[in-house]
Structure 1
Amino acid sequence: MTTESAARTTDIEAIHRVVAAVEASQQAKDPDAFLSLFHPDALWTTGGGKVLIGLDAISGFTREVLPGASWEGRVSYTVTHVQFLRPDVAAVKVSQLYHSADGPGDEGVPTYVMTKQDDGRWLLTVCQNTQVQKDRVHKT
């Protein structure tokens, strides 16, 4: 394995850890843990289409909705694709599924653009959370 491919593998593993931390913070309904994953200049569009620019706006929204989030059960996040745009910028496709005692619930397909910081951490920088409409069939 070359040094470059080892570094890429390390970055992919770090990206997976960030998405796992998103999942953990959502399941715990922990705004502080969730917000720690964002770049200060982040841009986030919620599943409902609300555009939040900067960590202050993301924080205000998150602190309002996350602690009282209405889903029962748990939510899972799975990385489905990582595409490096540059060595320090990655587009990450995620599958988001809410689970309840009755089985699978709502589904989302977030896209995260993550940036690698000087200290090696990957942060959420541009995020679009899209809810899957159950009445639509998608063919690829």
Structure 2
Amino acid sequence: MIHMTTESLSHAADIEAITELVATVERSQRNKDPEEFLGLFHPDAVWTTAHGKVLIGLDAIAEFTRKVLPAANWDGEVTYEVIHVFFIRPDVAAVKVRQRYLAPGEESEGAPLYVVSRQADGRWLLTACQNTVVVTD
């Protein structure tokens, strides 16, 4: 469930589009589809993986993604849930996501932060992203 503020209520259509963007991230991860995933990035995007690998620009993100995503070793369910959207300005938003990997006898969680930007054509793209593994005590 997305945490809504008075300001975010005025951005309902944008929040819907951003939620769809995150749903496409989920689908591409679930299907291990690097091309669908890569289509969500700004050409100059910055991506930091959950293990701290910094990837600058779509070429670097693509090289990494095409190598690791098809070989990903999860066999269970992958879910991504938008939990908070903060509009930095009307065309830039910080999006907090709850990421879960669920497999029989195993569960892990991530806490990505996506900075997304609305393009001239109205599409929202991943622009600066940091994934973080959630460590439980």
Q: Above 0.5 in TM-score?
A: yes
Query: 2:130 maps to what in 1?
Result: 128
Question: 5+ unaligned residues in a row in structure 2: which ranges?
Answer: 1-6
Structure 1 residue 22, shift from structure 2 partner: 0.1
Give the distance between the partners of 2:85 and 2:104, measured in 1 at CA.
31
TM-score when normalising by structure 2: 0.92
CA RMSD for the aligned pairs?
A: 1.5
Query: 1:116 maps to what in 2?
Result: 118
C-alpha contact (below 8 Å) 2:8/2:85 kept by paired residues: no
Question: Which residue of 24, 29, 32 maps to 1:26?
Answer: 29
Alpha carbons of 1:5 and 1:70: their partners in 2 closer, same or farther (altered >3 Å)? closer
| Pair member with larger Rg | 1
Q: Does 1:44 align with 2:44?
A: no
Give the distance between the partners of 2:56 and 2:116, measured in 1 at CA.
15
Question: 5+ unaligned residues in a row in structure 1: which ranges?
Answer: 136-140
Query: 1:98 maps to what in 2?
Result: 101
TM-score when normalising by structure 1: 0.90
Stretches of 4+ moved more than 2 A in 1? 4-7
Instruction: State the one-letter code of the partner of 1:12.
Output: I
C-alpha contact (below 8 Å) 2:8/2:86 kept by paired residues: no
C-alpha contact (below 8 Å) 2:88/2:94 kept by paired residues: yes
Give the distance between the partners of 1:70 and 1:16, measured in 2 at CA.
26
Q: May I ask how many residue pairs the two structures share in their alignment? A: 131
